[in-house]
Chain A
């Protein structure tokens, strides 16, 4: 059901009250289930009580952005399945516990608390107690979380998925708690939990026999862990990126184990060689994904011959950072005909012939990553276009020899193209003209292509209405007119990078104001824009979450006032080097209730009192701060302690104040 229909139903309900209200709640719920956009659902909810009731009864997922309405929301939606508190500003133990206390969360199965650094074990205790059917918890990037938090989660015996990525305080003890408390775990990630060692992993493997997916990346574990892991019969997905103590011996242990591995990631494991991978393939003949980026030093013949045994199953092969010859690529093409994705990023020796011999057999390829393979020319693009009709993603960053001719071929032969990265490829407006025929394009990266002008953007704007992400970093030829054409045609843009496009002025930003879905906007070093332009962005781009105004030397307090007034969803803001004062900063920080991440280096117009006041105003909400290290000793210690207690991390930088006038 489209937005219009929903609106119509809502409208009729508002008008007569008979039509919608007579439909059963179940039916309305069904209707709402078919409205994907939150914005549309909100419209329905607002115009009709019946819809509001239906949504209250049927809503499955809830993402809360602020702390204050949380108790009310939890009470209102009784049938919640997924609860996302990751963006909830100033959420802490007390508020979470209080909100949970009055709500019936018997149906909640998934809770996301990623980056909710204010929540500790008390809050998690309350959460686990309130949600008896909890199955998945995401606690990733809560860098302060440790064993007590893990222990609190371990009380949820039914847990199946747990993400502890970057919970830096979690040690073997916390892992053991989880392992004992949640025996039904199927998916677990403790990436970056560097305190976890072999014995923790061993206990985990003994207790959680149901594990299907495990991520031990960046851990200092050794082959002994792999020995334990190899006993997990149901394990399908194992990621061990950058585990420096793991080597071929460990992979051999895995190969003789009883896993049912389908996906393995040994990227940046420096001691893994192709022999180890070959032995791994030996033991697991149904592998589907192999990622070995930047780990193998060379690709041995044994590995290639083993690849042949995976002919039917292997779909993803990432070999970034190798010395790759044409013969090797043709061998891969021969052995892995079912490849869907191949990664050859930063591989030396990738030539046109190599790519041709690869793609001539791998016609199912959808994703080809050729980042920094700078020997490639249009010939490679032509062979890709001729063979891979289903191509969806092509990354060609730094391939300076490709031109509009090759891209024309791609654009005409691969109608499904969704993502193309042409960063630093030196393409021109003609290339964009060809690419614009790909109406399915979602992601377009044109950074550093300084020859692109408004003309090219007009092609994109006229045809690529679905674009979500557009990167125009340092495309310094584009002006306000180009932005006008873009904003006219590409209403779906969420991410837009205009850094160093220094011809852009306030009028260009006023065009951007029509992009209601824009969430991330980078305007670094646009020296001509002022508070007026910021105002139009703030007023128009209601979804704005992240804004980068670094070195926008003309943006002053008026810009901050506008942001404070309108950009209510703003979560991340960079205003380093901007000539703002303490007053503007204070007003901004006290008004924006979702703001969690501030970068404010070299705000030379802001007094110490200004910093003190504004930081105190935003104290409970801020999670990340970047400031000049000189302030560390000047700001009051109580304030800094307070910030830390609220889960805020401060990154102190020390760099000289240099005004760069762009490019």
Chain B
């Protein structure tokens, strides 16, 4: 069970956005159930200790209230789900507080039942553990909700830019009341029409859970992904920070003020297309525009003029687009323009590498170790240069992928010394280096569960998605007329790729405000 959930999680997380659009609601529901089972029946899950610090959006997080909810539904629907309410609403506050009250009561009940039963009942220690875990999770969510409720009452906490971005506003308004209602065991918004809030909820839930699980047993999680929400059909569309190898993606800490640059978002197909320049007559693709222009000469004399052959002038474009940065099309990714801490990518090459590394299958396997997988072939080549040979080893048996890490370790621990004989100590690197380690970012444990885009493709779910992807794959990269001003991409349910391959955020003020924290405590 655990294994299957891992696999399907990987698959589904990589295909999350497609899945959200291409699976029918019924199937979705079933998957929720299976996921929940796989999660709650899983023994030995670690207990959360500290709540993750993300803000009001996390308020949508909701945990089943008692053991009966094991087969039930962790996502309680909210009556006010689809009715937008203003940010500072006494009604909402009141409902929040009521919810908290109930929540505390539920937790109390669980604890009481645990103490009453004492001896193992049906599920034995497993169940007890699951309960314990639930209690802790509940407490965590209570704390978060309390904080967010308090936070929403403070006007200063709200970003002034918030209201200018419809996408943000919508998310936010969905987010804050969403988790509070619903003592009942109704399904959450399984209605497929409203995909965005659904996504939000799910991902927030996952986020929290994954944080909870990873904070404790980080190592295990990094490798095994015991993320409960990785279950089938859980739609793990992560809204939060995807682990991204910052250094290589070219967007690190530029500190461009939002709005000072134009954000360009290529769509998946374009990013993955081998060619980016296509002949409008015959459709032949080219990697370089210059080659395309040379090719065009064959289509007639009108393409042979010096003007047609010359490099297109960019001056006019430079005037009103001083700086261009790129956004990753993957919603929830830190490189996606909707992300709170959006970090743009500098070049198209950065986009390509980032997208492949973070959101694609790692189809290139190292032929030496047969363990490491890569999605960018250059990464594979880099790795193969060092694979096996440069495994930096300490006398204590710990291995390091980089020499400076080893030296830092040696400097830290008295008596440890670099080991010269690499064969002496059994290679343990495989377990320490998860597949997705190329994308693991230390400070974002919360999203550790998402580092493994479907590298194994054996679940039926995965197959489904592949089919789904293929059907949409008919979209031709030829058709990439830039669609300026298509801001609504992100508010539309399941923003349709095939419609707007290029979607630009308007460069007006506030449109790039997504990077602003929207109310963290």
Contact = CB atoms under 8 A, between A and B. Distances in A.
A177 B420 contact: yes
Interface in B410-428: 410-411, 415-418, 420
B288 interface: no
Interface in A150-183: 151, 154, 172-173, 176-177, 180-181
Contacts of B411: 202-203, 206-207
B417 A199 contact: no
B403 interface: yes
Given A147-B420, A154-B417, A181-B417, A176 B410 contact: yes
Interface centre among B404, B407, B410 (most CB of A within 10 A): B407
Nearest to B402: A199
A177 B404 contact: no
A173 B416 CA distance: 12
Contacts, number: 33
Interface string A117-157: 00000000000000000000000000000011001001000
B405 to A, nearest CB: 10
A54 B425 CA distance: 52
Contact of B420 (A148, A200, A203): A148
B403 A203 contact: no
B415 A176 contact: no
Contacts of B420: 147-148, 151, 173, 177
Interface centre among A148, A173, A200 (most CB of B within 10 A): A173
B398 to A, nearest CB: 14
Contacts of A203: 407, 410-411
Nearest to A173: B418
Secondary structure at the A interface, as helix, strand, loop or mixed, is: helix
Contact of B416 (A148, A180, A199, A200): A180
Given A151-B420, A177-B418, A172 B410 contact: no
A180 B407 contact: no
A180 B403 CA distance: 16
Contacts of A180: 410, 415-418
B407 A199 contact: yes
A173 to B, nearest CB: 5
Nearest to B404: A199
A172 B416 CA distance: 15
Given A180-B410, A203-B411, A206-B411, A172 B403 contact: yes
Contacts of B403: 172-173, 199
B227 to A, nearest CB: 36
Contacts of A176: 407, 410, 417-418
B518 to A, nearest CB: 40
Contacts of A199: 403-404, 407
A547 B204 CA distance: 84
Interface residues of A, number: 16
Contacts of B418: 173, 176-177, 180
Contacts of A151: 420
A147 B420 CA distance: 8
Contacts of A172: 403, 407
A90 B415 CA distance: 36
Interface string A472-511: 0000000000000000000000000000000000000000
Contacts of B404: 199
Contacts of B416: 180
A176 B415 CA distance: 11
A199 B411 CA distance: 10
A206 B416 CA distance: 13
Contacts of A148: 420
A147 B419 CA distance: 10
Contacts of A200: 407
A8 to B, nearest CB: 57
Interface in A178-199: 180-181, 199
Contact of A202 (B407, B415, B417): B407
B420 to A, nearest CB: 5
Nearest to B392: A173
A423 to B, nearest CB: 48
B17 to A, nearest CB: 42
Interface centre among A151, A180, A206 (most CB of B within 10 A): A180
A193 B148 CA distance: 59
A112 B411 CA distance: 30
B408 to A, nearest CB: 8
A205 to B, nearest CB: 9
A259 B133 CA distance: 55
A192 to B, nearest CB: 21
A177 B419 CA distance: 8
A317 B327 CA distance: 59
A147 B404 CA distance: 17
A172 B392 CA distance: 12
A270 B393 CA distance: 36
A594 to B, nearest CB: 34
B76 to A, nearest CB: 53
A180 B404 CA distance: 15
A150 to B, nearest CB: 9
Interface string B391-405: 000000000000110
Interface in B75-120: none
A362 to B, nearest CB: 45
A431 to B, nearest CB: 59
A203 B416 CA distance: 12
A156 to B, nearest CB: 14
Given A176-B407, A180-B417, A180-B418, 12 more contacts: A148-B420, A176-B410, A176-B418, A177-B420, A180-B410, A199-B404, A199-B407, A200-B407, A202-B407, A202-B411, A203-B407, A203-B410
19 contacts: A147-B420, A148-B420, A151-B420, A172-B403, A173-B418, A173-B420, A176-B417, A177-B418, A177-B420, A180-B410, A180-B417, A180-B418, A181-B417, A199-B407, A200-B407, A203-B407, A203-B410, A206-B411, A207-B411
Q: Closest 9 A-B residue pairs measured CB to CB? A: A180-B417, A176-B418, A206-B411, A199-B407, A199-B404, A203-B407, A173-B418, A203-B411, A147-B420
Interface of A: 147-148, 151, 154, 172-173, 176-177, 180-181, 199-200, 202-203, 206-207
Interface of B: 403-404, 407, 410-411, 415-418, 420
